[in-house]
Amino acid sequence: METARNEAFDAWMRERQFSANSLARELNSRLEALTGKLGTYDGRHIRDWRSGRVRWPHAAARAVLADLSGRSPVDLGFVPRRRTSPAAVQQEDPMHRRTLVTGALTAAVAAAAAPAIASTRKIGMSDVERLHEKFAAVIASDHKRGGQLDIEQRATALAETALNLQNSGSATQRVRSHLYGTAASFRSSAMWAAIDGRRFKDAVAHMKEAQVLAEMSGDQAIKFRIWSHAGTLWRHMGRPADALSANDVARELHITRRDPMFASLGMAREMAIKGASHDLRSLPRAYDDARKAMSRADPQAPRPVWLLAFWDEAELHSLALSAYLSAGDWVTAEYHAHRCLASLRPHMQRSRAITTSRLAQAQLAQGDIDTATRTAMTVEKEAATQHPRVSRMLQEFGAGLRATAPGSNSTRTWNEHAAAWRAHP
């Protein structure tokens, strides 16, 4: 029987400039990182997949290919064997948006299953630590290029990798809890990338999956992150009542009583939500409460990498800027924007672009057209053209500028600047 060439897999290899041998080496290396044992694939295996002679690789290879490509095996052109159940294929799909119930069942089955290979390897904290290193890389990418689809896809694939690891050997309950917590962390990063990219429907799907995994892990810190992100999601979707309710869940977790740094973040995000509700009177006290909680926190206390990477005085000013800008207090918004920019850490490139765009909006609202235009023009081209939230804010700035001063030199300058961005993205 004649076999059909796997055109999707072949196209992906050509896109990534993999030869059969170089892809085999990459697979073997990643298998070693995942399992502690070097893989045994060679160019012949890859050519068999590409030619269609082998239509459904082994499970370990499929997991690594999904991790490497950010695509499911089916999306790579592989065809499940007839005995492979649809649920099993669904579990491998790193881009599948599972519902809360399906996510819970999938994770529960993964934990309870006792595969034949479980007796051959012991899963330990070293495996978890390797995943933590990948999580740190996802966090770094987010702060540099937030909102991008490839960040969301990679975080989703790594969440599946963490879940698949549950079935690759035996482990203590402590290790399994950490694996669920790590999977929840990756899913929460996928959720945040989707929020930042204004892909709200996908963000909701990630949120549901992340909530299930966090409950199974028992990790208070990741529960806080997910519910706090949920508050931000509903705020961006124009649902302040839901946003406050979700943020309240985060604030009521006992980790906020154990560590004032978490309490501070919860208070600051509540401030941003109240700003979106135009509750201007409550903002000064909310800001002051968040600042005082931050000052009480022990700077040496152990905290998760996602919190250490961003939560500081600069981000407190950033949330205050968002709150006052939404509430229409342009002068106070500008004050917090300048304070934020003065103390932002160098790696916070996405935050710098967002803050600068908001500063330009606050200056324009005060009628300072020339200063606002100069401010907006300092946003880096990459963020202005590729970050969905920044692009949207700058489009709104341009529309506001043209409405305020349609024939001014600043408007002409801005129009030419924005046109150059579009012509050379």
b/e per residue, 41-80, with b = 16+ CB within 10 A? beeebbebbbebebebbebbbbbbbbbbbbbbbbbbbbeb
What pLDDT is stored for residue 127 in this prediction? 87
Query: Taking Cα atoms as reference points, which of 3, 77, 68, 85 lies closest to residue 30?
Result: 68
User: What is the SS3 assignment for 347?
Assistant: coil
Residue 306 has pLDDT above 60, yes or no: yes
Query: Taking Cα atoms as reference points, which of 394, 344, 345, 340 lies closest to residue 372?
Result: 394
* Mean pLDDT (whole number) for 215-222: 91
pLDDT in tens, 344-371: 988 888 899 999 999 999 999 999 999 9
92 pLDDT band, cuts 50/70/90, is: very low
Give this prediction's pTM. 0.70
Last residue of a domain, one of 45, 66, 87: 87
pLDDT in tens, 178-208: 999 999 999 999 999 999 888 999 999 999 9
What's the CA dihedral at 165, 166, 172, 174 to 10 degrees?
90
Beta bridge partners of 370: none
Could you tell me if 35 and 137 lie in one domain? no
333 pLDDT band, cuts 50/70/90, is: very high
Last residue of a domain, one of 218, 238, 267: 218
Residue identified by tokens 């917090």 is 336
Taking the C-alpha atoms of residue 207 and residue 215, their distance in angstroms, rounded to an integer, is 12
- Say which DSSP state 170 is in: B
Crossing angle for the helix pair 260-276 and 240-251, to the nearest 10 degrees: 170
Last residue of a domain, one of 170, 188, 218: 218
Higher pLDDT, 124 or 414: 414
What pLDDT is stored for residue 378 in this prediction? 95
Residue 109 has pLDDT above 50, yes or no: no
* Mean pLDDT (whole number) for 308-332: 95
What pLDDT is stored for residue 259 in this prediction? 95
- Check if the beta carbon of residue 324 is closer than 8 Å to that of residue 332: yes
283 pLDDT band, cuts 50/70/90, is: very high
Residue 136 has pLDDT above 80, yes or no: yes
- Assess if residue 404 is contained within a domain: no
Could you tell me if 102 and 214 lie in one domain? yes
Q: Which domain holds residue 60?
A: 7-87
Quick one: how far is CA 79 from the chain centroid? 30
Residue 105 has pLDDT above 60, yes or no: no
Q: What is the rounded end-to-end Cα distance, in angstroms, of the chain?
A: 48
The pair of three-digit structure tokens given for residue 9, joined into one six-digit string: 């897999």
- Assess if residue 395 is contained within a domain: no
284 pLDDT band, cuts 50/70/90, is: very high
pLDDT in tens, 14-27: 888 888 888 888 88
